[in-house]
């Protein structure tokens, strides 16, 4: 398992830095920059980091975990931890709303997502099964070896 992390400041400009950092780490893991899954993961990262920065005003930690399976396979897990104890709130945005779609996107794009309290804050995570996304044979997903206990989970 490969794990990389980035400290995020409480500034909305950090979202762009997190996207650039994530793209380079995804490419370094063997995921092609033009692979559509890389775009999906960058969008998931952008939404989770934006939520942490905008809704908490606190620094956060972004972590990417690349599960077993070698190049081209395995689970990719995105985690964002912050120091706010407020649980994530999934909202339903109306057509003209410019906010309120982040967790809907996470729910629609990730294979699984959830959150867990951590210290005085929380950790929000999502997972994408790269093997399934690439259409690899087998169809049966092994349990993720680093799956944390969940307070709330959703499956797409």
Examine the pLDDT at 137 and tell me if it is beyond 50. no
| Confidence (pLDDT) at 151 | 44
The better pLDDT of the pair 149, 100 is held by: 100
Mean per-residue pLDDT for 101-106?
79
CATH class of 2-155: alpha beta
Helix then strand then coil, in percent of the chain rounded to 5, is 30, 25, 40
pLDDT digits (tens, 9 = 90+) for 49-96: 999 998 888 899 999 998 876 555 689 999 999 999 888 876 665 666
* pLDDT confidence of residue 32: 72
pLDDT given for residue 86 in this prediction? 87
Which pLDDT does position 57 carry in this prediction?
Answer: 87
Mean pLDDT of the residues in the chain? 80
Domain boundaries, the chain: 2-155
pLDDT on residue 118:
92
Q: How many CB atoms lie under 10 A from the CB of residue 108?
A: 10
Strand locations in 9-143 (E): 60-66, 75-82, 112-118, 121-129
Q: Which of 5-9, 20-24, 71-75, 151-155 has the lowest mean pLDDT?
A: 151-155
User: To the nearest 10°, the Cα dihedral for 115, 5, 74, 133?
Assistant: 70
């Amino acid at each position: 398992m490969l794990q990389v992390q980035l400290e995020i400041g409480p500034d909305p400009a950090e979202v762009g830095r997190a996207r650039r950092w994530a793209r380079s780490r995804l490419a370094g893991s063997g995921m092609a920059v033009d692979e559509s899954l890389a775009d999906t993961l960058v969008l998931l990262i952008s939404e989770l980091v934006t939520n942490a920065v905008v809704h908490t005003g606190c620094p956060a930690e972004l972590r990417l975990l690349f599960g077993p399976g070698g190049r081209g396979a395995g689970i990719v897990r995105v985690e964002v931890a912050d120091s706010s104890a407020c649980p994530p709130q999934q909202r339903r945005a109306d057509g003209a709303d410019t906010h309120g779609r982040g967790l809907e996107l996470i729910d629609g794009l990730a294979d699984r997502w959830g959150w867990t309290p951590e210290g005085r804050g929380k950790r929000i995570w999502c997972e994408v099964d790269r093997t399934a996304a690439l259409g690899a044979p087998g169809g049966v997903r092994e349990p993720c070896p680093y799956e944390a206990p969940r307070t709330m989970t959703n499956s797409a």
